[in-house]
Amino acid sequence: MSDQISPKQFRESEGVEDWRVLGDGANAYFRTGSLAAGARLAQAIGALPGVDDLQPDVDVRHDGVTVRMVAFIEGYGGMIQSHVELARKISAAARKLGFSADPSAVQSLLVIPGAISRAEVMPFWRAVLGYEPRRDSPAEDLVDPHNRGVPLWFEQMNEPRPDGGGAIHLAIWVPYEQAEARIAAALAAGGRMVRDEFAPSWWTLADAAGNEADIATTKGRD
């Protein structure tokens, strides 16, 4: 697609200050204060030109509305130029209703199972979750066809864990400006740093039992 854009290109576009790129998509959270107010914002978003083509995920809760925009097509998963214009329109609709954005409130979760053979384990997870392969990376990713559940990315392991078991850890995508605070809180809560050589793209931490979690950002990935 000729209108594919990178996370950096989205961030540097005008009028997207309310939005943060987490993983593959652009995310924004608007505080509304009530479910009824959030429903009004969702209705306004639904009435915007082009929204049916881009199909943003709109999550309405009692305190606010989260919007996520990403395109999944054959061979590509990410943002396109049309998302920039829709982001501006959504922000304008929120402002018109008196709602402000809170970029610090957005995050995205990814579950990462590890396996020596992805092909051997992916059918199990597809079956138990009712998921389907992601269109741009069917050999590595499974996603909820209804966009409600947490996606899975299957990491290729070179060798099994010493105890013979599998390996699953989490990746928590946060805005870059929130990463240091999240890491500090995790360390203060008894965690330890496992790897930081890939920072600022991600830091790997572990709890006292050795379970791992990545604090991930899109910084340095372009």
The domains of the chain are located at 4-105, 108-216
Position 1 scores a pLDDT of 46
pTM of the model: 0.89
Answer for the pair 100, 31: CB distance below 8 angstroms, yes or no: yes
Which of these CATH numbers, 3.40.630.10, 3.40.50.1580, 3.40.50.2300, 3.10.180.10, describes 108-216?
A: 3.10.180.10
Share above pLDDT 70 across residues of the chain, in percent, rounded to a whole number: 96
Position 167 scores a pLDDT of 80
Q: In this predicted model, what pLDDT tens digit does every residue of 67-116 receive, in sequence order?
A: 999 998 778 889 999 999 999 999 999 999 999 999 999 999 999 998 88
Position 158 scores a pLDDT of 82
Distance of CA 201 to the CA centre of its chain: 14
Range 4-105 has CATH code 3.30.1360.20: yes
What is the Rg, in whole angstroms, of the alpha carbon atoms belonging to the chain?
Answer: 18
Position 106 scores a pLDDT of 97
Position 133 scores a pLDDT of 95
Average pLDDT of adjacent 10-residue blocks, the chain of 222 residues: 84 97 95 98 97 95 97 86 97 98 96 90 94 93 93 88 71 96 95 95 91 92 80
